[in-house]
Chains A and B, each alone.
Chain A
Amino acid sequence: MAIKEPLNDPMLDPVTGEYRVIAPGHTFKSVTEKVSRIVLTSHTPVGWWGGLAIAGGGVLMLMVALTWLFLKGVGIWGITIPVAWGFAIVNFVWWIGIGHAGTLISAILLLFKQSWRNSINRFAEAMTIFAVVCAGLFPLIHTGRPWLAYWLFPYPNTMNVWPQFRSPLLWDVFAVSTYATISVVFWYLGMVPDLGTLRDRAQSKFAQFFYGIISLGWRGSVRHWTRYETASLLLAGLSTPLVLSVHSVISFDFAVALLPGWHTTIFPPYFVAGAVYSGFAMVITLAIPIRKFYHLEDLITIRHIDNMGKVMLVTGGIVAYGYWMEVFMAYWYSASRWEYFMMWNRMFGPMGWSYWVLITCNIALPQLMWARKFRRNPTLMFIMSFIVNTGMWFERFVIVVTSLTRDYLPSSWGTYKATRWDYMTFAGTLALFTFLFFLFIRFLPMIPMSELRILLPQAKIKAKQEPLPEAGD
């Protein structure tokens, strides 16, 4: 990459010569103050209340939609025979995909020692958890008899029946529940030092008590730090395969089935790449308003946005390769009439428009990110993140719905039309996600102070001389 900026770029560390992650001028104290003030302030911003209220309204709408759903059955949605899976499964896969970025950032980038991740990993992890919450809702509510959904778990019972282990849906249950568990543990463990900081800085009795409880007695001793680092590494090691496995398993829901358009071996890698793609887009969607609103431009810098843009270019490329392979397989390589018809139908059938939305949003427009200027422009990247997530939603729509509308027996072809309840449920989960996120940024440290401090020049220079006296402050 040809860097045209003059050498006196403030982001270049004059001492180490490294390209800084956070803007110069910060010290341990300033970082700590900046981040902890957001949580500990007694002046809740009006904008936060407004956002929470809007999101809360959406959550209420979700509750209405779910109540009606439980009263009437899944027939209130647009699903039919042959399209027995619709928005619910599309949304499920989409949300799970979004969740991927958090784990990728916190685990894989940690293992690869990509320290720039430190500014964004906390809220990316939170995003993962909230996305998994939204995702996890769908498999439950999409069943015909949701009150019996626990039958998917292998638990000892008097009926002496066991789940059917050949079904990918059952694999989903394990994959998603494992993923959710590890993500929550990783996220919470990573927060413990910061919670200790908040406890120590808290003014009100309640905050002291609250953070005191959840900081689990963190004292910042060397022994604590050692254990903490070891646990982080171990959890990172555990979650790394999960990043690959969760979406692979979810892709099995489709790949294992017989349906043309689903029955494809390329699905696992292509789903994982797509998940990371949409996850990073969501991180950008969240990061840009947050840094603006809370004036965190110093901590979440243009470099973060730039890097995330690069990750999206790569994963978007993998996804594009996947799309191309599907076309290649269908038209040239497989000589299968089913594949051939499926691909024709996907492109030119009655729901062909959705395929072209997907290609436009996921392949065509993101090519703009090759331009460095584009990647470094927060406004454009914010818009791009929406485009990519729209495209990724349509990717799942094309796979799930278009494939089902026209399968083997032409007599049974059908169509799909989502109802208002489908839209309400989808919008409701978006609201739920936002609602949880608002609570998170208000009550928990959204940027890991302890990890950020490591990035400061202070830490690096002093580390060569003696242990940091301020550590744990």
Chain B
Amino acid sequence: MRDKQHFSAIEDQRQGPQMSQNGKDKEGVVPVRKGLTLDEVRARLNGKTGKKYWRSLEELADTPEFHEMLRSEFPQQSSEWIDSVSRRGFLKMAGASLALAGLAGCTKQPDEPIYPYIKAPEDLVLGKPMYFATACPFASGAVPVLVKSDAFRPIKIDGNPEHPYIKGGSDPITQATLLDLYDPDRSQHVLYRGETSHWGAFQAAWRARLADKKASGGEGIYILSSTITSPTLAAQWKKAQVAFPNAKLVQYDPVNRDSAYAASRAAFGDYADAQYKLDAADVVLSLDADFLSSAIFPGFHKLARDYANKRRLDGTTEMNRLYVVESWTTTTGLKAEHRLALRASDVPAFAAALAGALGGGASADFNGTDDAKKFLAAVAKDLKANAGKCVVIPGEHQTPAVHLAAIAINQALGNVGKTVVYTEAVNPLPTIQTDDLKSLVADLNAGKVDWLVVLNANPVYTAPADLKFEEAMGKAGTIVHLDSHVNETAVLAHWHINSAHYLESWSDARAYDGTVSIVQPLIEPLYGGHTAHEIIQAMLDNPDLSAYDAVRENWRPALSGKGDFEFNWRKALHDGWIVGTAFQPKNAAGKAQIPASAQPSSDALEIVFRPDYHLYDGRYANVGWLQEIPRPVTNISWDNAAMMSYGTLGRLGLAEHDVVEISANGFKVKAPVFAVPGHPDNSITLTLGQGRSRAGRVGSGFGFNAYEVRTSAAPLYLTGAELRKTGDTYLFYVTKSHYTDHRAVFVGGDGSGTHSLEGNEAIDRAIVRYATLEEFRKNPNFAHEGEGREDPEPDESLFPAYRYDKNAWGMSIDMNACVGCNACVVSCYAENNNAVVGKHQVGVGRIMQWIRIDTYFEGDLAAPRAHFQPMLCQHCENAPCEQVCPVGATVHTPEGLNTMVYNRCVGTRYCSNNCPYKVRRFNFMLFSDYETESLKLMRNPNVTVRSRGVMEKCSYCLQRINAAKIQADKQNREIRDGEIVTACQQACPTEAIVFGNINDRNSKVRKLKEQLRTYGVLADNNTRPRTTYVAEVLNINPELADGLEA
């Protein structure tokens, strides 16, 4: 399956640094109990050549020290060595690398076949990609993915379209794990006290320690892991727990599910996950649940898809209505028909009052503004009217009280079993993580911890500030740290082990519905990384069992049930999931008791902690795509900011970019402030994940570290923060202009200064068109009536129109379905080798996005409505760019694509000036990275890496179109509808983007374009864009309709 040759480049890379650093003496650094180190072997062989060398090698090979070394270095082959006959075979196999590479560790990987998905070429056909199913593990449920592999290099990650739960689509983080794999700053060696060491040395030390601790049952051995997502790892741990009953496992992620678990334990007596079925819900209420923005919310992909499916107005479903109560501004809130901004501390009271009103609990008063009370009453009425067809979703970053209230309301309205079911928790070892971490810190401080093994976690950076984790950790005897980067924790650990990426190693994980996916590697570990499986397995009787074997053994019973295990195993790898492993609904008979919640005084300043949309808890800080691509809603790139409402900003006498010192409970952090439309007053949202000191070359030193004020008592939000102006300013960059409209009435404004200038203009210019459901029913043609909405006469151009005889490619984007999550943007970066330009260049205005999510805020910025408009090259039939290029570098194809000929471009940039959509991007300097080796492996070989001085833009994924055309030509047929999927379309979790041939009457895109709601942005310029938008329709509750103008 895998030819060694293809890995030669990778092998070189892996060996290079090791070899270069192996030369120096490191005796005394590596603690060797019995075995030899490779260095010592080399030292003994040093200076011996020819026959003498081989004789010395033979002599050496019989020493017990060498056997020990061999066992730790080549666990699987060591048995062969002891048998002198097969030793020759082993030497033959490994001899060259042993001798020539100076015995510098070139592990022959055991044969662990992986199977291609669907298209299985006999052998590698260069230029023909293969697709493998695997899964991206994530604490909120794995994302089953289909990875495109070119010449055995994974080059693109997308949702598995056939997976029963995900059905294609993905999210920004999953997309960007590709760059995480090729991150040149990944940890490449095992380190011992900061010096390069090797895995064998660690294994020796670890096993020796385990052997010592065997008698005491593992007393003093603590494992601190990020949330364990792998059932196999959980099984391994359970076995280890039997062998070492006193060893302790603590799981901690700063973004965890403590509230949900606490609530489910209180309500049902056990850990449970709620699965919301939005396909059956006509009315959805989110209580601070940001379920439409990223994979951070459990079950995001399915929720987003089901939500969007109810908004397509194609007659198959009733349109749903979304209410959102939220404590900052999220894409979910902005997609809602009705949104109420409440401070986080008011949400529990709101939830309790709502539960009271709906018979889910004791009636309670909600002390809020009149608008909030009106909202509450209207929501209660609407939910009641739709009992059994509605659902209440509590936010992950809300207290257990809100979760309990949601459970109570869903129970009271008879939604359980219809729109929500409760299942077993998706994570195999659910716990209340903050409590566990606290007890770990207590044990550390008590000196009970002998070995602290940190698995894929970075607690020095992420632990709550009040626990003083760094200080406590110093009291552990030995600290072992397994992670992909030499991060804040790694530099304080004695041992650092470079971990293998999920695309490099075997594991398993469950999607949020419980379906198991086997995580199969796509590439040999670039830097020979190791996994948690190996470290935990070392505690067991058969310590050398590889992750591959462990996963196979774990699923052997399940896969042997029906038919042959090997067949079922291959099928599971091929398909990407194991059939029939989805969770069954649990009996959720428990009764939720909602604890009383006190509402703090409304002018006490509040801090809300949220994970960064892209960086999550900070672990993706070194992924350039995620840093650079502007976050949804705020459009901040490369930084984070203390977000607050315009009102609070004014009240505190601050201006954007002012640096303030925020202090709470004696902890302080300095942060620049930023006004966010729709943010509740007297509340500040801090996003986690920035301010890293050791993220790597890309991610260190941007933004501020919000963990510095986050305490274990209040990891979600806290009330009573102090804010002090420091007088400094800090420049962070926002990729979208944001002005408030101060124009007087006679020049087209309203003079209020409370509206967004861009938003007002976008509505006036008919860039965004929408109607209420009522209006749409009355006048389905609303998108084409009114000022600026008329379509131009078809032929007003000076130039003759093009004829499109065969294919005419076009795209339709459903503004009703787009949730503004950015998955398309990251996907585009990965597919088209887009360059990351860095913070300064983004600030100047040179971000290289081919597709962006234009966000327009409409109405009062205190309570705005927003519109998300993915904007990419419109491939105008009458393209303004084509007419002005002096060298004909941007040309029209017979299929209506507007293509860039990079080789011909001299870089006058006239095309960009003349593009009304400003979707062209220019390589003002050499933005593409031509140096970094690992990034070369990542690039899509079918897309040019653009050099300095050329213009670039969306090509509708021309390479994919051509691949499909070649395929169709070979089979002597037309291209089928749906055969070409653009990268943005593929990533879209809500199927908002549809691409196809508009000359084909039966194509999906043609049908969408024939809808009356379809309109072209700026089409009155007679550009005749090929990308069209389906206008939004809002299912407004008449009771809350507030001056909506459409």
On A, residues with C-beta under 8 Å from B are 72-76, 78-85, 142-145, 148-149, 151-152, 161-164, 166-170, 173, 253, 256-259, 337-338, 340-341, 344, 348, 350, 404, 406-415, 417
B residues less than 8 Å from A152 (CB atoms): 886-887, 906
Question: Given A151-B887, A167-B883, A410-B737 in contact, is the A144-B923 Cβ separation under 8 Å?
Answer: yes
Question: Given A164-B887, A170-B886 in contact, is the A258-B880 Cβ separation under 8 Å?
Answer: yes
- Does B343 sit at the interface, judged by CB under 8 A? no
- Does B855 sit at the interface, judged by CB under 8 A? yes
**Distance between B462 CB and nearest chain A CB, rounded to angstroms:** 34
Cβ contact within 8 Å between A149 and B949: no
Cβ 8 A contact of B922, one of A144, A173, A407: A144
Cβ contact within 8 Å between A144 and B949: yes
- Does B761 sit at the interface, judged by CB under 8 A? yes
- Does B710 sit at the interface, judged by CB under 8 A? no
Cβ 8 A contact of A337, one of B757, B788, B884, B887: B788
> Complex Cα distance A350/B737, Å?
12
Cβ contact within 8 Å between A82 and B912: yes
Chain B 843-859, CB within 8 Å of chain A: the 1/0 string? 01110000010111000
Question: Given A73-B949, A409-B1018 in contact, is the A257-B748 Cβ separation under 8 Å?
Answer: no
B residues less than 8 Å from A258 (CB atoms): 880, 914, 916, 1021
B residues less than 8 Å from A73 (CB atoms): 923-926, 948-949
Cβ contact within 8 Å between B913 and A163: no
Name which of A84, A167, A348, A408 has the most chain B CB atoms within 10 A of its CB: A84
> Complex Cα distance A348/B852, Å?
28
Question: Given A151-B904, A166-B883, A408-B1018 in contact, is the A337-B888 Cβ separation under 8 Å?
Answer: no
> Complex Cα distance A170/B767, Å?
33
- Does B162 sit at the interface, judged by CB under 8 A? no
Cβ contact within 8 Å between A413 and B907: no
Cβ contact within 8 Å between A145 and B949: yes
Cβ 8 A contact of B737, one of A344, A411, A417: A411
CB nearest neighbor in A for B1023: A258
CB nearest neighbor in A for B916: A408
Cβ contact within 8 Å between B767 and A79: no
Chain B 273-308, CB within 8 Å of chain A: the 1/0 string? 000000000000000000000000000000000000
Cβ 8 A contact of B844, one of A80, A167, A169, A348: A80
Cβ contact within 8 Å between B887 and A85: no
Question: Given A152-B887, A167-B883 in contact, is the A144-B909 Cβ separation under 8 Å?
Answer: yes
Cβ contact within 8 Å between B910 and A169: yes
Cβ contact within 8 Å between A411 and B924: no
Cβ contact within 8 Å between A81 and B912: yes
Interface residues on B, range: 35 or more
Cβ 8 A contact of B917, one of A161, A163, A409, A415: A409
Question: Given A341-B748, A408-B916 in contact, is the A413-B737 Cβ separation under 8 Å?
Answer: yes
CB nearest neighbor in B for A416: B845
A residues less than 8 Å from B917 (CB atoms): 408-409, 412
Cβ contact within 8 Å between B909 and A79: yes
> Complex Cα distance A259/B761, Å?
16
Name which of B906, B913, B916, B920 has the most chain A CB atoms within 10 A of its CB: B913
Cβ contact within 8 Å between A143 and B743: no
Question: Given A340-B748, A409-B854 in contact, is the A82-B845 Cβ separation under 8 Å?
Answer: yes
> Complex Cα distance A211/B920, Å?
54
- Does B263 sit at the interface, judged by CB under 8 A? no
- Does B950 sit at the interface, judged by CB under 8 A? yes
Q: List 21 A-B contacts (CB under 8 A).
A: A73-B926, A81-B918, A82-B912, A82-B918, A85-B909, A142-B908, A144-B949, A145-B905, A148-B906, A149-B906, A152-B886, A152-B887, A161-B888, A169-B886, A256-B884, A258-B916, A407-B918, A409-B854, A411-B758, A412-B871, A413-B737
Cβ contact within 8 Å between A163 and B888: yes
Cβ 8 A contact of A410, one of B758, B841, B907: B758
The 6 closest A-B pairs by CB, nearest first: A144-B907, A144-B949, A80-B845, A75-B924, A410-B758, A75-B925
CB nearest neighbor in B for A253: B910
Chain B 745-771, CB within 8 Å of chain A: the 1/0 string? 001100000000111011011010000
B residues less than 8 Å from A415 (CB atoms): 737, 845
**Distance between B330 CB and nearest chain A CB, rounded to angstroms:** 19
- Does B736 sit at the interface, judged by CB under 8 A? yes
On B, residues with C-beta under 8 Å from A are 736-737, 739, 743, 747-748, 757-759, 761-762, 764-765, 767, 788, 799, 841, 844-846, 852, 854-856, 869, 871, 880, 883-888, 904-910, 912-914, 916-918, 920-926, 948-951, 1017-1018, 1021
Given A82-B912, A258-B916; 17 other pairs, CB 8 A cutoff? A80-B844, A80-B846, A81-B845, A81-B846, A82-B918, A143-B949, A144-B949, A145-B949, A162-B888, A164-B887, A167-B886, A257-B880, A404-B913, A408-B765, A409-B1017, A411-B736, A412-B917
CB nearest neighbor in B for A343: B747
> Complex Cα distance A415/B738, Å?
12
CB nearest neighbor in A for B909: A84
A residues less than 8 Å from B748 (CB atoms): 337, 340-341, 344
Question: Given A81-B846, A341-B748, A411-B852 in contact, is the A145-B950 Cβ separation under 8 Å?
Answer: yes
Cβ contact within 8 Å between B845 and A414: yes
A residues less than 8 Å from B924 (CB atoms): 73-75, 79-80, 144
CB nearest neighbor in B for A149: B906
Cβ contact within 8 Å between B888 and A164: yes
Question: Given A79-B924, A145-B948, A412-B918 in contact, is the A167-B910 Cβ separation under 8 Å?
Answer: yes
**Distance between B258 CB and nearest chain A CB, rounded to angstroms:** 38
> Complex Cα distance A258/B1019, Å?
13
> Complex Cα distance A74/B856, Å?
31
Cβ 8 A contact of B871, one of A161, A337, A411, A413: A411
**Distance between A82 CB and nearest chain B CB, rounded to angstroms:** 5
A residues less than 8 Å from B739 (CB atoms): 350
Cβ contact within 8 Å between A409 and B916: yes
Cβ 8 A contact of A74, one of B887, B920, B949: B949
Cβ contact within 8 Å between A410 and B908: no
**Distance between B1027 CB and nearest chain A CB, rounded to angstroms:** 13
Question: Given A78-B844, A81-B918 in contact, is the A151-B906 Cβ separation under 8 Å?
Answer: yes
CB nearest neighbor in A for B849: A81
CB nearest neighbor in B for A167: B886
Cβ contact within 8 Å between A414 and B737: yes
Question: Given A73-B926, A79-B924, A167-B884 in contact, is the A410-B906 Cβ separation under 8 Å?
Answer: no
CB nearest neighbor in A for B788: A337
> Complex Cα distance A143/B904, Å?
12
Cβ 8 A contact of B914, one of A78, A259, A410, A417: A259
Cβ contact within 8 Å between A75 and B909: no
CB nearest neighbor in B for A145: B949
Cβ 8 A contact of B884, one of A168, A340, A344: A168
**Distance between A411 CB and nearest chain B CB, rounded to angstroms:** 4
> Complex Cα distance A168/B949, Å?
20
B residues less than 8 Å from A414 (CB atoms): 737, 845
Name which of B885, B908, B1018 has the most chain A CB atoms within 10 A of its CB: B908
Cβ contact within 8 Å between A409 and B918: yes
**Distance between B918 CB and nearest chain A CB, rounded to angstroms:** 4
> Complex Cα distance A415/B905, Å?
25
> Complex Cα distance A168/B886, Å?
7
A residues less than 8 Å from B912 (CB atoms): 81-82, 84
CB nearest neighbor in B for A72: B925
> Complex Cα distance A152/B906, Å?
9
> Complex Cα distance A152/B761, Å?
38
Cβ contact within 8 Å between A344 and B880: no
Cβ contact within 8 Å between B747 and A169: no
CB nearest neighbor in A for B1021: A258
Cβ contact within 8 Å between A410 and B948: no
B residues less than 8 Å from A341 (CB atoms): 748, 761
**Distance between A383 CB and nearest chain B CB, rounded to angstroms:** 35
Cβ contact within 8 Å between B856 and A144: no
> Complex Cα distance A291/B921, Å?
51
Cβ contact within 8 Å between B906 and A145: yes
CB nearest neighbor in A for B1022: A258
B residues less than 8 Å from A340 (CB atoms): 747-748
